[in-house]
Structure 1
Amino acid sequence: MASRQMQAAQIVEFNKPYQLSQVPVPQCGDHDLLVQVYAAGFCHSDLQVLRGQFGAALPLIPSHEPAGKIAQVGTQVKGSWKVGDRIGVLNFKNACGQCVGCRQRLRRTKRTDPRFCRKRQTAGFKHDGAFGQFMLADPNTTVHLPEKVSFEQGAPLMCAGATVWGALQKLKPDVKPGEAVAIIGIGGLGQLGIQFAKAMGYRTVAIDNRHEGRRLAVDVSEILKPDLVIDSSAPDASDQILDFTAGEGLAGAVVCTDSIEANAWSLQQLGNGGVMVPVGLPQDRWQFDSEAMVFRELTIRGVYVASMGEVEEMLKVVAHHDISSHITTVDFDQIPSIVERYADKSMKGRLVVQITQ
């Protein structure tokens, strides 16, 4: 019997536009969830995939920010999953349970964690992702989407939201509510980061050298607006931070840009014992001032992306505080031109493709 077909956008050659194709609907295995994708985000990592930075085998269905509904539940899937559930899907999946990464997580947390599995699959990076009508998901990295969160808003939370939420969790326990935390680089991640930081009780500073970024920083609900917005290129930018913190400097900083210069500058804005979490990945290596790190006892803390448990907590905060992204929706047939839209300097926030109307 012929396989069912679906519409999908594929990378068939690096550095060339996505190609719209008819491909077979993936077969739902015993331990899988088959997801009908309603919305899928596009982010900077997708551009890196398109350029071949992750060495994916082609053809590949990209996008790692899906939101949709369960269309089929594998026969061996455990838990309360059912057809029709509204869900979001994280990109890492199918932990082997045997590699050193899995053994470490089992020892420390009593459960496997595909984020650190050396044999994990990464949807949209090296394995088929969300730019298709259906995709396969791992129940262990799938989360229920609150009813009040739309598919279009839910999609960016699966990467942008999970990444910056995870970064803010890394400030704990050193940085306490009421202390000053900066979000540097206000794009899709940064705008969510501002709202998360305010919801967590931090005095929040939004920093960007672009007018578009600073405008995006205040394009949120009144209660979640940053306490201070700074142009990092202004001659008195550091003085503004010191004035805001009574001369102490920032307690924490989450840097949502891959600019080496911005990361180096951000470290200098920390006060004694401050914590910085860089999120953007530059092609060249970071460079930080060792003297500042030593004499101010600063911490630079790595973060991958939030765990499934952390993402579930994030979604509760999103629903409770009505946190949202500035999104621009794109029809499925416009995917081949999405890179040009992303590169447009007037573009702000997140691009989200509506897969299923």
Structure 2
Amino acid sequence: MTSSPQLPETVLSYLGQAASPAEALRLAIRAAECARGSSTPNPPVGAVILDAEGHVRGIGCTQPPGGPHAEIEALRMAGKAARRGTAVVTLEPCNSWGRTGPCSHALAEAGIAALHYAFPDTTSFGGGAHYLEARGVTCTQFDGTQRAEVRQGGLGAWLHKQETGRPRVTVKMAATLDGFSAAIDGTSQWITGEEARADAHLERARVDAIVVGTGTFAVDNPALTARNPHGDLFPHQPHRYVIGTSAIAGEIERMQASGIPNCVIPEGYAAAPLTHLCTRKWEDVLAYFAGTDYQDVLVEGGPRLVGDLLARGYADRVLMYTAPMILGQGLSAAHSSLIDTLPNAQRFQFVSCERVGADLKLVLERKL
């Protein structure tokens, strides 16, 4: 069973501080990040409870399936301070019974006077705002700018799944300033520094599945695990997949899933156990993932697999670690022969840019 996500001290340090609803929403977004991956198939929601004077008294995020939702966690922390207070959540509180009781009922019973939420819940569990309004709670939806912040945070992948029917696909690359992921002789350890590699492992711990090609798998024998800087596994680990038509020694249990032959590799490799999807057709792979509970899928390589995904327009996001290094020649981070002219290039827009150690971390989304 997946361990419960813990809120970091950088989030908990806001307890007792005065905050406006907008400031509380940004705190809820940070809390929601802690639930990414471990909350699936539930949305990774963040919640903040302000007391009647506007001080932060409770912070919560969605626990693994069967555990409390974000609002319940925040209410437990706030206790009696929630009465006549304000609840700020990234997603409208649920209003139906599932594995747990409806959060809208719990907020009403706690005496909450106001609710601020970013996105309405359009699933069968929605309607929490209507329930609370009928009981005298003032309910307000945040505007487009603040909803955009929530979408770029922990809730983005869940929203993408609701809107498209398939998980959000993120391509992760690490390259030099001139776009190479390895030198001409194949050496690639390490293009980026320790801090960037640690951050990439944290990104792995926030997704549902991780994908590499059979070429990368054969050459690197990667573990595909999410590890902290000490080498210990994070509580949540992504499901591991290899894509390609090349056979892998030791694979067994050939099956059909969404029309794709696939095998389980139970032992003998660093990443075992893992699933081998025996195809290079991204249309089939995405159809397979659409039939799962996954919200967030991370594709890490190799360059031809990544290049093909990007060229065909199936990548929703790009996570790029750029090292302050020039090689002049080498192996490209992404390679495809499908684009031969600039007007056909796949274009993205910047979401964020931050320095991680000596490297830059860029997050980009598809330009619609």
TM-score, reference length from structure 1: 0.29
**Larger proportion of helix:** 1
- Return the index of the structure with the highest Cα Rg: 2
TM-score, reference length from structure 2: 0.28
